[in-house]
Amino acid sequence: MAKKEGGWELIGVWSFIIGLIVAIIVGIFSAEVVPSGVAAAVLLILGLIVGLLNVTDSEIIPFLVACIALIVVGSTGVVPFAWLQRILSNIVIFVVPAALVGALKAIYAVASTK
């Protein structure tokens, strides 16, 4: 996460918190494994904001490893409780755009150095 909390960094931190809360609430109260419409759009947008504002150059590798772990666990479908699977599916929707932005940042960092 960003170290200084002011302006854009604070927006990124709150986007992360709100994204997790939305993923959990929608997962608990929805009957669908994958949310449709507004909930999915909110999670995607918040994920993009998190990826753009929260991940610094020194945090890219641990961030991407954590994203990979969440995506794998959330995508397997081998969770014993339906509500937990719904929460993990929502977290995957939230994390994938952030992981995409982080991966692009990492590729750019590698490509731009000699």
pLDDT tens by residue, 18-61: 999 999 999 998 887 667 789 999 999 999 999 999 888 888 99
In whole angstroms, give the CA distance from residue 72 to residue 98: 15
Q: Does 25 fall in a domain?
A: yes
H or E element, residue 59: none
Q: Does 96 fall in a domain?
A: yes
**The tokens 């409780």 sit on which residue?**
81
Q: Does 2 fall in a domain?
A: no
Q: Does 50 fall in a domain?
A: yes
Q: Does 3 fall in a domain?
A: no
Q: Does 84 fall in a domain?
A: yes
pLDDT band at 2; cut points 50, 70, 90: very low
Q: Does 1 fall in a domain?
A: no
pTM above 0.75, yes or no: yes
Tell me the residue range of the domain where 92 lies: 8-112
pLDDT higher than 60, residue 68: yes
In whole angstroms, give the CA distance from residue 56 to residue 100: 14
* pLDDT over 70 percentage in the chain: 92
Q: What share of the chain is helix, strand, coil (3-state, %, to 5)?
A: 80, 0, 20
Q: Does 89 fall in a domain?
A: yes
Total structural domains within the chain? 1
